[in-house]
Amino acid sequence: MRSDYNRPMRMVPLLLVLLLQSTAWAFTPNELWHHWPEERFVRTPAPCLRPAELNAELQRLSALYPKKIQLTEVGRSFEGRPITLITLGHGPDTVLLWSQMHGDEPSATPALLDIASFLLAHADEPESAAILDGLTLVMIPILNPDGAQDYRRRNAQGIDINRDARVLATPEGRILKRIRDEYQPILGFNLHDQDRRKTVGNTGVPATIAVLAVAGDEAKTLTPGRLRAKRACAAIVEALEPHIPGGLARFDDSWSPRSFGDNLTARGTPVVLIESGGPPPGHHLEELTRLNFVAILTVLQGLAHDDLMGFGPRVYDTLPLNERHVWADVVVRGGFMLQPGFDSPYRADLAFNIWVDDRDAAGCATGNASRSRIVEVGDAAFLGAGQVVDAGESLLLAPLVAGIEGWSARRWMNSTMLLDVARLGVGTVIWEVPRRKIEAAESLAREVAGEGRARLEVVQAPTDLPWLTLTGPPKQPASQSLANIVRALGGKGMDKRPLTAETIKRLLRSSLSSSTESTLRVGRPASFLLLHPAPEGQINPQTTRLRAVYMNGAEVLGGSH
């Protein structure tokens, strides 16, 4: 009896070992997602990764795994920068992956090195071993190093490499075609970034990742290869949906006879396009690299396991398409708008976008000023938004315009003054100086310019200045009421005028008529004020307050949320 009791107990260690071997690094998308922060090889954010640093990272990777990875210079860019091919794995089927054929679309570039490092670091574990034994991976991390160096879409010839598949006028395009013809991959990954404001259909949800099983002809024929690409897209959708719920879309599959994906598919290498778009609100750009890491490894695992037979193409076919023009960075809803030439305000929403260079957003400052653009005036209820401002009973109008007389004002004309008046609602300061001082005044205007400050416009005397003419730096207002704002600005002769509703309206009309940028129209910078409360545009100098000030999309006075 005792020996019968002990037999299963002696089997436990062996069963445990087998169980651990079968489940070590189970390689699920969820585990890949959670382990990427510690497993990632490249720590530099994608927008900050220049070609020289990428090459240094490649050498570091090669030094870690000298017998398991091969780096080959497969050619040079138009300006002579090396283009490197990474090769790892030794399977009978080849997968080709290339990134950054558009130099300003880098999200997947570090992901390729992260994937290579991950597979080699875990080469003795079943899932990685299956990929390395079953597949040969050939990767071009930066196909357009000249564009990447200057963070521009096109190559140094000014050509879009992705539209050069037919003519092959670019050295970069010729390299990609040659690699495809030499290796005859069973699948290609064309890795891009798309407009951060594209959405999933008309849902108003950012299309964080869009996928495409690229067609090889105008009829969109479903060949066995394209079916494999559809299954790969389905695997990506299932892997990423838990991490970006509702944030996956299908890219436009119209036949493009000049594009590489379409031509490579036509030549027998089905291509999966991955477009990295806008992260969900509040999320960082680095998550796009993380999503590419999870997506590509999931597909490689499926290819090595059973040629992705576990994924149905219907998942891909039913994805909503990418949509444009249904998303704005900021939407101000429910206000009344006062425009030049109108005696009365009218009900209108205001929506605008803010362009910030991805490199600045990632922390590698470029010094490029952000830009804003109004994209909708009127009914913006259909727009999704990164931020919604409830205007309530606020009045929306262009910022005030103030005047300054004389060259002597240079003594207090500085960046602090322009920021202070901006916070009090002044968007433009017109500085009248004698003709002989124009050049010096314009030089000072350039020196004190900056984001969030009032714009200083130099004019030659004599000029009709706005009704609000400043005589010195503004004071701190006792409150944000219009009456106290006007007193703080200290306009010439303003202390002698009673601050009635009519006075305030006259001041506003003077500002609107004095500014060349006073009309809130689509295409103009998003500079405007919110006055509250102002039911149906009615203003009381004592109770209506300055609620918020936006200068070129930047909120310089808060309280709008």
Task: List, in order, residues 6 or more apart from 402 with CB less than 8 Å away.
Answer: 421, 426, 428, 429, 430, 454, 466, 468, 469, 470, 489, 491, 511
Q: How confident is the model at residue 341 (pLDDT cuts 50, 70, 90)?
A: confident
Task: List, in order, residues 6 or more apart from 9 with CB less than 8 Å away.
Answer: none
Q: How confident is the model at residue 3 (pLDDT cuts 50, 70, 90)?
A: very low
Give me the phi and psi of 522, to 5 degrees please: -60, 135
Residues 292 and 420 in one domain: no
Q: Where are the alpha helices (DSSP H) in 241-381?
A: 260-266, 286-306, 314-317, 358-362
Residues 114 and 214 in one domain: yes
Distance separating the N- and C-terminal Cα atoms of the chain: 76
- Residue 185: how many CA atoms within 13 Å on its side-chain side? 31
Q: Measured between alpha carbons, how far is 239 from 507 in angstroms, rounded to an integer?
A: 59
Tell whether 65 is covered by a domain. Answer: yes
Residue carrying structure tokens 């283009």? 83
Tell whether 344 is covered by a domain. Answer: no
pTM, rounded to two decimals: 0.88
Q: Measured between alpha carbons, how far is 403 from 444 in angstroms, rounded to an integer?
A: 16
CATH of the domain at 281: 3.40.630.10
pLDDT at 207: 97
pLDDT at 23: 42
pLDDT tens per residue, range 96-139: 999 999 999 999 999 999 999 999 999 999 999 999 999 999 99
Q: Measured between alpha carbons, how far is 300 from 451 in angstroms, rounded to an integer?
A: 46
Flag whether pLDDT at 370 surpasses 90. Answer: no
Residues 293 and 438 in one domain: no
Residues 281 and 142 in one domain: yes
Instruction: Read off the tokens for 49.
Output: 């990764």
* CA-based nearest residue to 559, from 536, 539, 529: 529
Flag whether pLDDT at 240 surpasses 90. Answer: yes
Residues 145 and 274 in one domain: yes
Tell whether 198 is covered by a domain. Answer: yes
Radius of gyration, alpha carbons of the chain = 30
pLDDT at 148: 98
Tell whether 219 is covered by a domain. Answer: yes
Give me the phi and psi of 116, to 5 degrees please: -60, -45
Tell whether 256 is covered by a domain. Answer: yes
Q: Would you say 407 and 434 are in contact if contact means Cβ atoms under 8 Å apart?
A: yes
Residues 402 and 523 in one domain: yes
Q: How confident is the model at residue 8 (pLDDT cuts 50, 70, 90)?
A: very low
Q: Would you say 277 and 193 are in contact if contact means Cβ atoms under 8 Å apart?
A: yes
What is the domain range of residue 419?
A: 371-377+391-557
Domain C-terminal end among 305, 323, 341: 323
pLDDT tens per residue, range 379-407: 999 899 999 999 998 999 999 999 999 99
| Ordered DSSP codes for 280-305 | PTT--THHHHHHHHHHHHHHHHHHHH
Q: Would you say 225 and 214 are in contact if contact means Cβ atoms under 8 Å apart?
A: no
Is the N-terminal amide bond of 462 cis, ω within 30° of 0?
Answer: yes
Q: Using a pLDDT cut of 70, give the percent of the chain over it.
A: 92
Domain C-terminal end among 323, 339, 361: 323
508: three-class secondary structure by DSSP: helix
pLDDT tens per residue, range 403-420: 999 999 999 999 999 999
Cα separations in angstroms, 135 against 93, 234, 474: 5, 20, 70
Q: Would you say 102 and 192 are in contact if contact means Cβ atoms under 8 Å apart?
A: yes
State the average pLDDT for the chain. Answer: 91
pLDDT at 516: 54
pLDDT at 494: 65
Cα separations in angstroms, 285 against 95, 145, 266, 272: 27, 21, 33, 22
How many domains in the chain?
2
pLDDT at 343: 77
Tell whether 361 is covered by a domain. Answer: no
| Ordered DSSP codes for 203-255 | S--B-SEEEEE--SSTT----HHHHHHHHHHHHHHHHHTTTSTT-EEE-----
pLDDT at 2: 33
37: three-class secondary structure by DSSP: helix
pLDDT (mean) for 533-559:
90
Residues 314 and 406 in one domain: no
Instruction: Read off the tokens for 519.
Output: 């009309």
pLDDT tens per residue, range 9-53: 333 344 433 444 444 445 899 999 999 999 999 999 999 999 999
Flag whether pLDDT at 246 surpasses 80. Answer: yes
Mean pLDDT is lowest, of 81-90, 308-317, 496-505, for: 496-505
Residue carrying structure tokens 């299963």? 8
pLDDT at 106: 98
Cα separations in angstroms, 549 against 400, 506, 515, 527: 10, 20, 17, 8
Residues 304 and 159 in one domain: yes
Q: Would you say 336 and 544 are in contact if contact means Cβ atoms under 8 Å apart?
A: no
* CA-based nearest residue to 351, from 326, 370, 374: 374
Pairing of strands 395-397, 187-193: unpaired
Say which amino acid occupies 262. D
pLDDT at 5: 32
Q: Would you say 209 and 291 are in contact if contact means Cβ atoms under 8 Å apart?
A: yes
Burial class (CB in 10 A: 0-12, 13-18, 19+), 21: exposed
Flag whether pLDDT at 368 surpasses 50. Answer: yes
- Count of helices and strands (H, E) across the chain: 16, 24
* Residue 496 C-alpha from the chain's centroid: 51
pLDDT at 16: 39
DSSP structure class, residue 404? E
Q: Would you say 556 and 452 are in contact if contact means Cβ atoms under 8 Å apart?
A: yes
* CA-based nearest residue to 192, from 97, 77, 333: 97
Residues 436 and 294 in one domain: no
pLDDT (mean) for 156-166:
98
pLDDT at 18: 40
Q: Measured between alpha carbons, how far is 175 from 141 in angstroms, rounded to an integer?
A: 13
Residues 159 and 266 in one domain: yes
Tell whether 508 is covered by a domain. Answer: yes
Mean pLDDT is lowest, of 19-23, 83-87, 482-486, for: 19-23
Mean pLDDT is lowest, of 44-58, 257-271, 493-507, for: 493-507
Residues 302 and 437 in one domain: no
Q: 468 vs 269, which has greater pLDDT? A: 269
Flag whether pLDDT at 313 surpasses 50. Answer: yes
pLDDT tens per residue, range 428-461: 999 999 999 999 999 999 999 998 999 999 999 9
Tell whether 342 is covered by a domain. Answer: no
550: three-class secondary structure by DSSP: strand
pLDDT at 487: 87
Instruction: Read off the tokens for 41.
Output: 């090889």
Residues 304 and 417 in one domain: no
